[in-house]
Structure 1
Amino acid sequence: MTLRYTVLGAGAMGLRFGVLLQENAGAQVDFVDNWAPEVETIKKQGGVYVSRDHENRHLVPINIYSPEEYQGEPDVFIVFAKQMTLQDLLERSAHFFKPEKQYVFSGMNGMGHVEKLNKYFSKEHVLAGTCLIGTVLNKAGDVDFIGKPGAGSINVANETEKPDERTHEIIADFKAANLNPTLTTNFLGTLMTKVVFNSVVNTICTLFEIQMGQFIDYPGAERLSKQLINEAYDVTERAGIKLLNDRETEWKTVEYVSRVGNPLHYPSMYQDMHNGRNTEVDYINGYIYELGKKYDYEATTHDFLRGLVHLAENTRKFRQ
C-alpha cells in the first residue's frame, strides 16, 4: 500500500514528484504552496496543465492548498521550495506537522535546507537527496516535464545514514512513480555531489541564457567544467566529505546529462533569473566558496561566478 504524501512547494519539481506519485504509483497526494498565484490558478482551472518536452499539454486534477487552510495528515512530506522562501513555508505550515510520526524528504538545490527542516523534524525522520530531472514551471499552473517518461534519476539518503522500514517504503513508491531512486548511506556526499553539478551547469547556463545542450556543444565546456569541479573537490576533500563520484566521473555526469539526458533544459537558476526572481547561487557556488574558507582554501572561480550572477541580477533593473 502506498503512503500518503503532501508536497510542500508546488513549483516545477514539486509538481513533477507529486503528479508522478499520483499517476504512476497511485498515491494520495496533496500540494501546499505559499505562492498565492500558483494556488489560486490551479484551483480556478481545476488542476495543473502538464506538458512533456513542450508537447501534449493536458490538465491533471490535483488538490492544492495554502499553508493556512491545509489540514491533512500525510505520512511523508516532500519539500521543494526555493532556499530563500523555505523558512516562510515551514513556519506557515508548522500547524499541521506531526513530527513524531511524519517523515520528510527534500531534493532541493543547494545547501542550507536540512538545517531548517531539523527545526521541525528529527534527524531520524529526515531524508534528502539530489535530482537529475529537468522540469520547467512555465507559469502559474503550467509545468513542462523535460525528457521522456522515466528520464532522470534521484539519489536519496537518510540524515542518520541508517535506512529504516519507512525509508524503504518511500523508495518503493519513488520507484513505482518512475523517479529512478538510488538509496545511499552517504548523506553529505550525496547532497554535495549535486551541488557540484549545479555549480557548473546551472550557473553557466544562467549567465549565458542557454540550454544545457547548448553549453555542452561548446568545445571548451570540458575545460570550464573541470576547473569548477576541481575547485569544488579540493574543498570537499579538505572538509572530509566523500562525494559519490570521483572528479572524472563528475565531469562525465555533467557531459551526459547535458548532451543526452536533458539537452533542451534550462536549469532552475536560469528560470529564476528569467522570471525576475533572486537565484540560489549563494547556496551553490557561494556555499562551496564559504565552505572552502573554513579550511583556508579559496575557491576563487566559484566566488567569481557568484559575483557575476549577482551582477546579472542587478542589471535587470536597467532593462526596458
Structure 2
Amino acid sequence: MKIAIAGFGALGARVGVMLQRAGHDVIGIDGWAAHIAAINTKGLTVTEDDGSSKKYFIPVMTPKEVTGEFDLVILLTKTPQLDRMLTDIQPLITKQTQLLVLSNGLGNVEVMAKHVSSQQIIAGVTLWTSDLVQPGEIHVTGTGSIKLQAIDHADITAVVTALNEAGLNAEVSDNVVEAIWHKAGINSVLNPLTVLLDANIAEFGTAGNGMDLALNILDEIKQVGDAAGVNVDVNSILSDLSNLLKPENAGNHYPSMYQDIQAGKRTEIDFLNGYFAKLGRENHIATPFNALVTRLIHAKEDIERVKLAKQQETFEI
C-alpha cells in the first residue's frame, strides 16, 4: 500500500517506520525544515528503551513538494494545523484515497469533511507514543493500539490489514466517537499536568494528589459528555491512566504537549481542556478545572516562547 503520513513528527515517524518495516511504500510530509533535512541526509534514528538505535530511510518533504497519488493518508498533524495541511495536500488526494486521522483532540472529522467525501474519512484514536529527541531522531517507548471507524460505512479492510501487518494493533470500533472522547480525556489529564508539574507520565503518577486532579478534570468532561450525548466512562479512563503510568507502557514518555512547550510551540490545549470548557459554557455547565488548566497552559506557552527568544538573542550576540 502507498501511504503518506501527514505530520511526520515523533509519532508520525514511529508509525511510518513500523509501516515501512512491514513492506509498505511510505513517505512523510512535514513542515519542519531541520527535521526534514536531518532525515533525508542522515536517516531517521530510532532509539529504543534499551538504548539500542537504528536508522531508517523514509523520504520526507513539505506538503507542496509531494507528488503522486496515495492509497492512504494518515493525518498526525497538530489539530490547529489540520485544515492547512489538508488544503496543501489536496492534489495528492484522489476519490479512492482514504484518510485516517489519528491526531489528538476533538473536531478533526468536521475539518476533514470540508475537504473530502465522508466515504473517504476514517476516524481513529491511538495510544502509541513517541518522543522527539532532536531533528531526525525519536525515542520510542512501550506499545500501543489503534481504534478506528469509517465515518460513512466505507470498506476499510485493507487499511486495517496494513496497520496490523505493521504491528500497530488496529481494531475496528462501532463507536469511535466514544473512543476519541476517551483518549481526549486521557490527554486532558496527562498532557497539561505533565507540563505544569514538569514531569513525565510515571513521575506524574508519583504526585500524591495527581489522580485527584485527574478526577476533577474527568468529572467535568463527563458532565459535558452527558450534555452532548456521549458516554464518558470515567472509571475506564482512570484504569487506562493507571496502566500508562507503568514504564513498560508509557511511563517514560513525555506527552506531545510537553514536547511542544519545550520547543516554544503553541499546543493543542484549545482542542482538549479548552474544547471541554467551551462546550461547558455553551451548555451552562461549570468546568473550572478545565478552564483553569487551559489558561495556565497558554500562560506557560507565552513564558517559554519569551525564554527561547532571549536564548536566541544571546546566541546571536
Q: TM-score range by the shorter chain?
A: over 0.9
Tell me what 2:102 maps to.
Answer: 107
Alpha-carbon separation, structure 2, partners of 1:297 and 1:54: 46
Q: Superposed, which structure 2 residues align to 1:194-273 within 5 Å?
A: 194-243=183-232, 246-260=233-247, 261-273=249-261
Is 2:72–2:98's contact at 8 Å kept on the other side of the alignment? yes
In the TM superposition, residue 191 of structure 1 has moved relative to its aligned partner by: 1.4
Name the amino acid aligned to 1:250.
I
Deviation at 1:207, TM superposition (A): 1.0
Find the residue that maps to 1:127 and give its secondary structure. strand
Counterpart in the other structure of 1:31: 28
User: Offset of 1:312 from its aligned partner?
Assistant: 1.2
Which structure shows the bigger proportion of residues in helix conformation?
2
Unaligned residue ranges in structure 1 (runs of 5+): none
Q: Structure 1 residue 61 and structure 2 residue 53: aligned?
A: no
Q: Is the 8 A contact 1:211 1:265 kept in 2?
A: yes
Report the residue type matching 2:189 in the other structure: V
Aligned to 1:175: 164
User: What is the CA-CA distance between 1:216 and the residue it aligns to?
Assistant: 0.9
Q: CA deviation at 1:15?
A: 0.8
Structure 2 residue runs of 5 or longer lacking an equivalent are: 312-317
Correspondence 1:109-148 to 2 at 5 A: 109-147=104-142
The residue that corresponds to 1:292 in the other structure is 280
The residue that corresponds to 2:301 in the other structure is: 313
Q: Tell me, in whole angstroms, the C-alpha distance in 1 between the residues paired with 2:114 and 2:133.
A: 32
Check the 8 A contact 2:30/2:60 in 1, yes or no.
Answer: yes
Q: Cα RMSD over matched residues?
A: 1.6
Structure 1 residue aligned with 2:93? 97
In 2: Cα distance, 1:315 partner to 1:18 partner: 33
Matched AA of 1:53: D
Structure 2 CA distance, aligned partners of 1:35 and 1:94?
A: 19
Q: Matches of 1:217 and 1:72 in 2, distance apart?
A: 49
State the shift of 1:30 in Å: 1.3
Specify which of 4, 15, 18 is matched with residue 17 of structure 1: 15
- Large movers: runs of 4+ above 3 Å: none
Aligned length: 307
Q: Secondary structure at the match of 1:305?
A: helix
Larger deviation: 197-206 or 32-41?
A: 32-41
Q: CA deviation at 1:288?
A: 0.7
Give how far 1:16 is off.
1.1
Match of 2:81 in 1: 85
> Do the aligned partners of residues 54 and 86 (structure 1) sit closer, same or farther apart at CA in structure 2, a change above 3 Å counting?
farther
8 Å Cα contact 1:135/1:145 also seen in 2: yes
CA distance in 1, matches of 2:205, 2:212: 11
CA distance in 2, matches of 1:240, 1:249: 18
Distance 1:196 1:266 in 2: 17
Q: Taking every aligned residue pair, what percent have the same amino acid on both sides?
A: 27
The C-alpha deviation readout for 1:103-155, integer Å capped at 9, x for no partner, is: 000110112322222122111111122111220111221111112xxx11121
Equivalent residue number for residue 148 of structure 2: 156
Q: Is the deviation greater in 197-206 or in 61-70?
A: 61-70
For the 8 Å contact 1:157–1:190, the answer to whether it is kept is no
Please report how far the alpha carbon of residue 306 of structure 1 lies from its aligned counterpart in structure 2 after TM superposition. 0.4
